[in-house]
Amino acid sequence: MRLIVLDENFDTIGSIPLFRTLIWVRRYEKLGCFELYTSKNYFDLLNSGRYLYRNDAEELGVIDEVNYSQDENGAREAYAKGNFAEILLFDRVIETTVTLTGNIETAMRNLVTRTAISPADSDRKIKHLRLGKENGISGSLNTQATGDNLSEKLYDIGNTQEISHRVQYDYLTNDLAFEVWQGKDRRDSQEVNSWAIFSNSFYNIRNVVYNRNSSSYKNFAYIAGAGEGANRVIVTVDLRQPGEERKELYVDARDLQQEDGNGNKIPLDTYKAQLSQRGREKLAEFRKVEIINSGVDSNANLVYKKDFDLGDYCTYINTEINISTDKRITEVMETYEGGATELSVTFGTDEVSTVKQLIKREV
């Protein structure tokens, strides 16, 4: 691994060959982040830098904070932290009403193009940002956005259909490529990809802690849009499973207007579809909590980034407590310290289902 510090123009200004600890947190449903603890000798380099590049990773770190510290024993250390390059999209808002329809990948790419790549106001353009490859993501979208933060809106849209987006950096060309993507299906119920099964029967899990909480769970939403009184447009979204108890949520979506950005009247069916999309986004914030924490034996049958990776849909089975579930990997925390690598892998989300695995390897 090589750590290279870049300035705001992506010019290399130095490297960090030695460090005490590096924490690299990759996330699927929200912004990833990093922390770096290293010698005081690299403080000036980090303090002058804007980006942290790893030659063995897809993510580019954006340095947001740099500290210098000295403890009571006189030990001195430099510290830096930040988010990955997707944070650059957080600096843009959707300033006028935008209607997004059709294929979800195309709609998300178009939104980024008009807001940050080729905006009407050239001063809003994010340097070096371009569209990356299309990944053939299926799924349709019909929504409206006004005043939303670009990054947050992209995550809200993606979380309703279990897809994500990323901004990948090319060190040779200095390009930042925006892509919409989805992890592989590695469940044992499919035959396209190799399976990734975490199970005590395979001796690749240990130290299991299970917790389930549905106190905040909602599965049915009333979404109220434009209009007053009896004339207000109201739709419902029902995400209940067969036989499931109804748990209601009210969503005030008056900000969704029945006119597009050009002042044209939106057909009622189209407007109702936009309200339904808002309802699905809100219900995604009130999902069930089902947490399984366990360790994973790194010497067993599954290899990180080969047999499983961020975004992959995997199967978890624990016969001792009769748990069998399919969940997506939504976070991987890589910790490098003292010549060893530790991975903490999260399946599902804090709001839905979390399975944390601990993997330790010697470098």
d(CA 70, CA 236): 58
CB 323 within 8 A of CB 205: no
CA distance readout (Å), 94 to 120, 154, 224: 12, 11, 22
**Helix 104-112 crosses helix 150-159 at what angle (to 10 degrees)?**
170
d(CA 347, CA 66): 31
d(CA 185, CA 168): 22
d(CA 332, CA 344): 6
Question: What single letter denotes the amino acid at residue 344?
Answer: S
Positive or negative CA dihedral for 280, 284, 286, 292?
A: positive
Cα 33 to its chain centre, rounded Å, is 11
Looking at residue 356, its pLDDT comes to 41
- Token pair of 307 as six digits: 């047999």
Q: Is 291 helix (H, G, I), strand (E, B) or coil?
A: strand
The CA dihedral of 102, 104, 106, 109, to the nearest 10 degrees, is 140
Q: What string of pLDDT tens digits covers the 363 residues of the chain?
A: 999 999 999 999 999 999 999 999 999 999 999 999 999 999 999 999 999 999 999 999 999 999 999 887 888 999 999 999 999 999 999 998 898 999 999 999 999 999 999 999 999 999 999 999 999 999 999 998 889 999 999 999 999 999 999 999 999 999 999 999 999 999 999 999 999 998 888 877 766 667 677 888 999 999 999 988 888 999 999 999 999 999 999 999 998 888 776 778 889 999 999 999 999 999 988 888 776 666 666 667 888 899 999 999 998 888 888 888 888 888 888 999 988 888 888 777 754 444 443 444 433
Cα 130 to its chain centre, rounded Å, is 19
Nearest of 250, 253, 255 to residue 222 by alpha carbon: 250
Reported pTM? 0.84
Looking at residue 345, its pLDDT comes to 80
Looking at residue 293, its pLDDT comes to 60
Looking at residue 319, its pLDDT comes to 86
Q: Quick one: which H or E segment has residue 110?
A: helix 104-112
Q: What residues contact residue 226 under an 8 Å CB cut-off, 6+ apart? A: 232, 233, 254, 256, 257, 258, 271
CB 35 within 8 A of CB 21: yes
Burial class (CB in 10 A: 0-12, 13-18, 19+), 128: middle
Nearest of 126, 214, 222, 228 to residue 177 by alpha carbon: 126
Q: Quick one: which H or E segment has residue 10?
A: none
d(CA 155, CA 247): 24
Q: What residues contact residue 304 under an 8 Å CB cut-off, 6+ apart? A: 332, 343, 359
Going by the DSSP 8-state scheme, the letter that residue 135 receives in this structure is -
